[in-house]
Structure 1
Amino acid sequence: MLRHDYGNPAVMITENGCSDAFGPGPAVLDDGFRSQYLRRHLEAVKGAMEAGSRIGGYFTWTLIDNWERDLGFTSKFGLVAMDRTTGVRTPKASYAWFKALAESGALPVK
């Protein structure tokens, strides 16, 4: 739509991600659902670029679980879990997936 209706402006995709189920419990470390979500979105970005869209960058939301303005600590969007009591950070499965993507420049095999 941007390409056809608005003259194909250059865009940056920012803050794209998905959360664990909302709740006060610990983060989900085996978060294959997040990797699949990111894959689907990156495949769409790649398709848009191949069709001529001018996409200058893509940023996932977010590296570390954080406090969200409207949801507090009940949502966990990070590729890395953070224990709010100790500050200990633990990479999730999606971190390894995204790291492989960053290192290779190609979407990892499904």
Structure 2
Amino acid sequence: MLREAREEAAAELAGTRYLGYLSDPDEPCARVRYAAALTSLGPAPVDPATGRTYVRILATPEQALELFDWGPTAAEQLQAVHQARILLGIPQAGRQPVTELSAPTTW
């Protein structure tokens, strides 16, 4: 997971915690859920599958749910986020305007 985050998102993580897994009702597979504190982001990489460089935004979990149509699983996703926040000792974020991260960032 750490290698994938570094290679695909130029992200550095700390305090990785296993949360469990999410079963896929349409496929014979499951997706493992991990949580980690994001410590830094390098320059946004080009997606090798599409050739695009995606915009990165900083948003609260609740704002992310507003931006993406996750359907019925949205409540479960939000619950997992709050579980991870507690495990990692990260305070709940207050609502602020969504911010584009246009340059490498470190926290």
TM class by shorter chain equals under 0.3
More strand by share: 2
Length-normalised TM-score, structure 2: 0.25
